[in-house]
């Protein structure tokens, strides 16, 4: 495969990547060609500038996957503004925090959503406007920009494991090169049709748009409520590509699919695939290549596993993607040996510029390399094998310390799912006067004795859960991931 072009460009130039008459967006209300995308982005950018917004102002959007939501990442970039996408599943208190923290000058949303906000939720100096007002306003269109690619283009708010959501600062170059990298290693082409089901406020979700447009392909955006909505969308729109997170894959594997679909590739991030789930995906979608990937909002994407290696290395997260410079570091900053656990450190041009107006947390996570470049220390423990493949062990702040042992919750969870008694499980460390922490396992489904018997058979004594709790379904956060923070809060005495 050829080496991708490392030269970044202004993000709004993605409108120029596809053939003018090719379809850039396919929706129920009609298709939009690349020529139409260019015209719509220019018009929206002109409208934003006509409102008196100036270079560097923040524009927040609190929208589902409407036409406006799809255009804003490029239109704000063309207007010299910074886009702040807010997950449509968030509630007023979370939205208010993001508006205040980002210093947003404009909020674009829908009338029913805006009606849920109080006067104090929208800071002074921030105008709240419905998307209908934006869609109906005329203004001279702006041409493709010539902005420096190192200029900030977006703030993506991520909650992390502690504290309030923080805004990750991403430049045009970060987003452009992320699109180039993903389009390259997934081998996306103008013939590809990508079913965009993930939230656009999520870095993985936003890249559904950007990498597809870089390849000149078609984005098919949908908002879904249940797994069958995705099945119906696949049958109607005939996509080639679907990106998801493990909870979504679990739900999709629980429903009946045709023996053949149009899907050629499935891409996973936002949580590790277990060997059991990989087997179910391969059985459900036998014609699709499965890309297991690892990423973090602070650097977008770090690694990907060649689908040809998945069956032989089901627990691997692969090797560095194009433009990512990955190392495994020991606590003293040295390079870990093969087989030695260490922290994954990501350097290179995909690394964000830190956290918005938060130098203290930025300094703790983003550190200079010897050559002066910036690296992000992920907080995730990985192991590199002799073939150079990486395996995810767990997050440092999620590791369970029990009776002097460090236990990866991922390992306990994978063993639980492998029992066949549950499709999802979360292992949590709970304060214990004698052990330091004991292990609580929260499993989805009805109580099943097979789970405890299987764990007793496959895990050592120090990794055995002290307690197993059963829930009909595990709670989700707005990005569709299992809400570990909520389960931890409920678990603590």
Would you state the CATH architecture of domain 11-384? 3-Layer(aba) Sandwich (3.40)
Does the structure show a pLDDT above 80 at 399? no
Region 147-167 average pLDDT: 83
Residues 153 and 173: their CA atoms lie apart, in Å, by 9
Region 255-278 average pLDDT: 92
Helix 227-237 crosses helix 246-253 at what angle (to 10 degrees)?
80
pLDDT band at 162 (very low <50, low <70, confident <90, very high): very low
Region 249-262 average pLDDT: 94
Q: Give pLDDT, residue 437.
A: 86
Nearest Cα neighbor of 83 from 195, 209, 196 is: 209
CB atoms closer than 10 angstroms to residue 321: 24
237-272: buried (b, 16+ CB within 10 Å) or exposed (e) per residue? bebbbbbbbbbbbbbbbeeebeeebbbbbbbbbbbb
Q: Give pLDDT, residue 253.
A: 94
- Pairing, β 342-347 against β 374-384: antiparallel
- Pairing, β 82-86 against β 106-109: unpaired
List Cα–Cα distances, 354 to 70, 360, 373, in angstroms. 25, 10, 13
Domain ranges of the chain: 11-384, 399-491
Region 211-237 average pLDDT: 97
% of the chain surpassing 90 pLDDT: 75
286-313: buried (b, 16+ CB within 10 Å) or exposed (e) per residue? eebbbbbbbbbbbbbbbbbbebeebeeb
Residues 188 and 477: their CA atoms lie apart, in Å, by 30
Q: Give pLDDT, residue 233.
A: 98
Q: Give pLDDT, residue 1.
A: 63
Residues 401 and 434: their CA atoms lie apart, in Å, by 12
> What digits encode the pLDDT tens for the residues 18-72?
999 999 999 999 999 999 999 999 999 999 999 999 999 999 999 999 999 999 9
pTM of the model: 0.85
Write the secondary structure of the chain as one string of H (helix), E (strand) and C (coil): CCCCCCCCCCHHHHHHCCCCCCEEEEECCEEEEHHHHHHHHHHHHHHHHHCCCCCCCEEEEECCCCHHHHHHHHHHHHCCCEEEEECCCCCHHHHHHHHHHHCCCEEEECHHHHCCCCHHHCCCCCEEEEHHHHHHCCCCCCCCCCCCCCCEEEEEEECCCCCCCEEEEEEHHHHHHHHHHHHHHCCCCCCCEEEECCCCCCHHHHHHHHHHHHCCCEEEECCCCCHHHHHHHHHHHCCCEEEECHHHHHHHHCCCCCCCCCCCEEEECCCCCCHHHHHHHHHHCCCCEEEEEECCCCCCCCEECCHHHCCCCCCEEEEECCCCEEEEECCCCCECCCCCCEEEEEECCCCCCCECCCHHHHHHHEEECCCCCEEEEEEEEEEECCCCCEEEEEEHHHCEEECCEEECHHHHHHHHHHCCCCCCEEEEEEEECCCEEEEEEEEECCCCHHHHHHHHHHCCHHHCCCEEEEECCCCECCCCCECHHHHHHHHCC
Q: Give pLDDT, residue 161.
A: 44
Nearest Cα neighbor of 302 from 217, 382, 247 is: 382
Right CATH for 399-491 from 3.40.50.720, 3.60.15.10, 3.40.50.300, 3.30.300.30: 3.30.300.30
Which of 94-108, 183-197, 337-351, 408-422 shows the lowest mean pLDDT across its residues? 408-422
Same CATH fold assignment for domains 11-384 and 399-491: no
**30 Cβ contact list (under 8 Å, min separation 6):** none
Half-sphere exposure of 294 (CA within 13 A, CB side): 26
- Pairing, β 289-294 against β 265-268: parallel
Query: Are 271 and 204 within 8 A, CB to CB?
Result: no
- What is the average pLDDT score of the chain? 92
Q: Give pLDDT, residue 462.
A: 81
Which of 4-8, 119-123, 224-228, 395-399 shows the lowest mean pLDDT across its residues? 395-399
Gap between the terminal Cα atoms of the chain: 54
Nearest Cα neighbor of 213 from 378, 14, 421 is: 14
Residues 309 and 278: their CA atoms lie apart, in Å, by 12
List Cα–Cα distances, 79 to 44, 55, 75, 290, in angstroms. 9, 7, 6, 37
Q: Give pLDDT, residue 137.
A: 63
Nearest Cα neighbor of 347 from 330, 370, 318 is: 370
């Amino acid at each position: 495969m050829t080496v991708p072009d490392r030269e970044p460009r202004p993000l709004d130039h993605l409108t120029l990547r596809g053939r003018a008459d090719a379809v850039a967006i396919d929706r129920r209300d009609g298709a939009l060609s690349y020529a139409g995308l260019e015209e719509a982005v220019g018009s929206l950018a002109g409208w934003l500038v006509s409102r008196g917004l100036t270079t560097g102002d923040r524009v927040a959007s609190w929208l589902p996957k409407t036409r406006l939501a799809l255009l804003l990442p490029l239109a704000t970039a063309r207007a010299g503004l910074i886009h702040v996408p807010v997950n449509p599943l968030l509630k007023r208190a979370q939205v208010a925090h993001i508006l205040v923290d980002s210093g947003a000058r404009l909020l674009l949303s829908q009338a029913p959503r805006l009606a849920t906000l109080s006067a104090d939720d929208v800071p002074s100096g921030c105008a709240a406007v419905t998307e209908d007002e934006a869609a109906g306003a005329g203004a001279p269109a702006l041409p493709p920009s010539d902005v420096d690619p190192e200029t900030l283009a977006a703030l993506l708010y991520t909650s992390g494991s502690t504290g309030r959501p923080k805004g990750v600062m991403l430049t045009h170059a970060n987003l452009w090169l992320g699109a180039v990298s993903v389009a390259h290693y997934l081998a996306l082409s103008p013939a590809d049709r990508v079913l965009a089901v993930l939230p656009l406020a999520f870095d993985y979700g936003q890249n559904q748009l950007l990498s597809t447009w870089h390849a000149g392909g078609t984005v098919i955006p949908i908002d879904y409520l249940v797994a069958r909505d995705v099945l119906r969308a696949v049958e109607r729109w005939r996509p080639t590509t679907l990106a998801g997170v493990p909870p979504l894959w679990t739900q999709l594997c629980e429903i009946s699919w045709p023996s053949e679909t149009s899907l050629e590739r499935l891409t996973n991030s936002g949580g590790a695939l277990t060997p059991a789930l990989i087997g179910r995906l391969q059985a459900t979608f036998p014609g699709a290549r499965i890309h297991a990937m690892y990423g973090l909002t602070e650097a977008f994407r770090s690694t990907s596993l060649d689908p040809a290696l998945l069956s032989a290395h089901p627990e691997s997260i692969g090797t560095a993607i194009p433009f990512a410079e990955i190392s495994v570091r020991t606590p003293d900053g040295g390079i870990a040996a093969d087989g030695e656990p260490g922290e994954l450190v990501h350097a290179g041009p995909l690394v964000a510029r830190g956290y918005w107006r938060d130098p203290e947390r930025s300094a703790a996570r983003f550190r200079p390399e010897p050559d002066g470049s910036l690296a992000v220390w992920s907080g995730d423990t990985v192991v590199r094998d002799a073939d150079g493949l990486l395996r995810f062990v767990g997050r440092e702040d999620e590791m369970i310390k029990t009776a002097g042992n460090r236990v990866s919750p991922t390992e306990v969870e994978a063993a639980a799912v492998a029992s066949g008694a549950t499709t999802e499980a979360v292992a949590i460390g709970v304060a214990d006067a004698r052990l330091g922490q004991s292990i609580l396992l929260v499993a989805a489904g009805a109580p099943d004795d097979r789970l405890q018997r299987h764990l007793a058979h496959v895990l050592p004594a120090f990794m055995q859960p002290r307690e197993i709790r059963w829930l009909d379904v595990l709670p989700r956060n707005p990005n569709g991931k299992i809400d570990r923070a909520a389960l931890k809060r409920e678990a603590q005495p």
